[in-house]
Chain A
Amino acid sequence: QIFFLLFFWLGVFLFIMEGRGSAVNTPASRPLTRRSKSYGRSCVEAPSYFWQTPGHLTVLKVPTSRGAAKSQLITNKVDPEHIALLVKNEWKLSYVTPLHHFRHTQLKSYSRHLAAFIAAEKQQGVAVEVGLEAGFKVTFTAVLGLAETDEDAETVFIQIQSKPAFAAAADAPKVVWRGWLTCVNGDPEYLRSLPSDFVSLPLFCTSGSESLTTLVKTWLERAFDCNFGSLALNSTTLNWLAALWTGCHPTCNIRHLKLAWSLPTQPPLDVSYTVNPQDAWELWNSIHPEESTDDKIDIKEVQSFINGLETHFFRHFKIYLSAGTLVKVSTALGSAHLDGKIKIGNSDYITTLLTLLTESALLKMPT
């Protein structure tokens, strides 16, 4: 209860501070959108001044070419323990608009506030699943080293552990939810155009129950005046991943290139095509030779690659895969699903994947 009141007053304090400091930054039109949710008491949310995503998103264009996937011993830049947190889990993707007044130096404070928020919501009867916990322990950690450019903000990892009511003292608390906010190779022009009190970490990856994810998002939205949205991937992104990952085969065995389509028949037909990695690479190499001095890969080459596979398939089965949708791409380096779910298999090429996803997140944001 005390925590909650503290938080409330902190919120009010921040609101007052905002009002004073942001005269320069507030956009010309100022709709007062009062959020309909009240917090069970007579307090009222700070009206959102930033209903429009700040910064100049209109500068973002869908790139038609990009550099080849670069392997890097990511463990040189990032703590291997942090890397282990990211790899092997399945993550659900969302985009988030820039965070207002987010400070990497306040992570401990955020941990306490989020924990208090979850506890308070649970008391109010908001379903949090998982029965008998006495409480939740929340940890915000900065994962340093994933950021690539000077404009990228450092990644923030959030972990929620539950403390069972009747556990012995020696029982380790169980991790029930994980999430991380990141920005890798975000468009520099856009990032520079953001007002200084905004931090952009547009990609949000979550793993755990939906109810906890919603609670975390709600808290973040209120604390940093941002908006979340689900990030579904499109087939272009999946095509890029198929080509980029295949291109990595010489330096890192991708084990297979597996593509999955869904055709709208009655009942729906799933087609998965698992290509031998060496053969997939030879096809890719014939389209975009490795020795080419130009490091850039063009989208046309990617399309040619996918078309080649679809045509080889067609010659055998006479089925137009283009009548369906490419739904999932996977190799040993990771997998990506159209619904906005990813798995990171190998940390060496994590930057490539995160760059693509950061881009998708920025493009998906409402302008």
Chain B
Amino acid sequence: MDTQATSVLNRIIRRIPNKNIENLLKKWSCLSADQLRALDYTRPKWMIVEHVISFCEENRLNLKHITTLEMIYHIENPDQGTWHACQLAEAQDDAVCVELTQFKEQFKAHLHGVIRHISIKMKKHEDEAIWIRIAWGDNFSKPNHLKPTYVVHHLHTSYVFISNLMAKHKIFLCPALVIATKHGSIKDGHLSTRSLTAMRDLPLRRYQQVNHQGSPNPCIGKEHGDHEEMRHQMSCEAFGHSPSPKLETAVYRLETRYRGKGNQTLSDRKEFFRGVVRFSSSSLLDSLRHCVASGMAEGPVTPLLSAITQRGRNYFVITDKGPGVSSQASAQRP
């Protein structure tokens, strides 16, 4: 096995807790049952790594096998690194007819046509998601397997989720996706988070957003109870129910006129009062929901905040042009 293969293998095994290594290796099914039994997971990591490397060499495994292992690891542990969403637009008439084999062929063909050295691996997961792993090289150097890009796409949806893509490779990946899915263009989805699950659930609306018909708290007086109930309802409508998709941040670039009170000179100003607001929390939607439900935010929920769930994004540029959220495709990375 070459150095790249051992480096990649080393990195995978170092990342996961020892107790999960066995499962991963079993799913991989590249080591024999005897070899798996021979591994002692109570040993220090470096020992386990060495054992696995020696088994791999025994079985004459190579980089291809190792990258499969890495892919399995990422599919099993999707909430790592930072995922960014992109949105496909201008679907052609036959976009809905695109099949998996077609997609795969077109995607690979395009990339192989523009880059001499590139390594593409595709795998369809049981939940219908297509996982793509790309190790980028260029016309002169071999693919770098230590910095692969991962792409996840559900066929016939308009969203593509990307992790670890360098700016210089974007110009290759985007056309490949557009062509393979039979769309006209792709743009920044203005959504980024650590959790791929959240990334999928949010724009694809895979979580409950309807009114909660629970019974009101009997301890609160009727009128007060009504207000509570109303706030609770508002908060759930805007931000969904627990458990919410795990978003960590939302960023708003404000380019609006000053709206603070009492300041005539400033309010008359034509220029914008510029700033950037960043909300962060270990679970942003839960925090915002609580904010509204507890009265720390006034209802009705401003469209700026409900846009997070309504439009499935967490980066916004807010200008004075018209009400609500303007979807500025200024496409600046948050």
The 8 Å CB contact of A269, one of B265, B275, B291, is: B291
Give chain B's interface residues, CB within 8 Å of chain A.
252, 254, 256, 258-263, 265-266, 269, 271-284, 286-288, 290-291, 294, 296-299, 301-302, 304-305, 318
Q: How far is the CB of B292 from chain A (nearest CB, A)?
A: 9
Q: Which residues of B contact A271 (CB under 8 A)?
A: 277-279
Contact residues of B: prevailing secondary structure: mixed
A265, B294: Cβ atoms closer than 8 Å: yes
Is A131 in the interface zone, CB < 8 Å from B? no
Other-chain contact of B260, A263, A276, A311 (Cβ < 8 Å): A311
- Specify which chain B residues have a CB less than 8 angstroms from the CB of A235 in the assembled complex: none
Taking a contact as CB atoms under 8 Å apart, the answer to whether A317 and B305 are in contact is yes
Please report the total number of A residues contacting B with Cβ < 8 Å. Answer: 33
Residues 269-282 of chain A, each 1 if its beta carbon lies under 8 Å from chain B, else 0? 11111111001001
Closest CB pairs A-B (n = 5):
A308-B260, A276-B274, A269-B287, A315-B259, A265-B290
Q: B286 and A283: CB pair below 8 A?
A: no
Q: Which stretch, A54-62, A106-114, A318-326, touches the partner chain B? A: A318-326
Q: Give the distance in Å from the alpha carbon of A221 to the alpha carbon of B147 in the complex.
A: 55
13 A-B pairs whose Cβ atoms sit less than 8 Å apart in the complex:
A265-B286, A267-B283, A267-B286, A267-B287, A269-B288, A271-B279, A272-B277, A276-B273, A282-B266, A311-B260, A315-B259, A316-B302, A316-B304
Q: Is A268 an interface residue (CB 8 A)?
A: yes
Q: Does A103 contact B (CB under 8 A)?
A: no
Q: Is A312 an interface residue (CB 8 A)?
A: yes
| Cβ B280 vs Cβ A283 within 8 A | no
What 0/1 pattern do residues 290 to 316 of A give for CB contact below 8 A with B? Answer: 000000000000001001110111011
Question: How far apart are A313's CB and chain B's nearest CB, in angstroms?
Answer: 7
Chain B nearest Cβ from A257, distance in angstroms: 9
Is A266 a contact partner of B279 (Cβ separation < 8 A)?
A: no
For A275, what are the chain B residues with a Cβ–Cβ distance below 8 Å?
Answer: 273-275
Residue of B nearest to A277 (CB): B274
With beta carbons under 8 angstroms apart, the residue of A267, A309, A320 that contacts B281 is A267
Q: Is the CB of B279 within 8 A of A269?
A: yes
Write out the residue numbers on chain A whose beta carbons fall within 8 Å of the beta carbon of B273: 275-276, 279, 283, 312
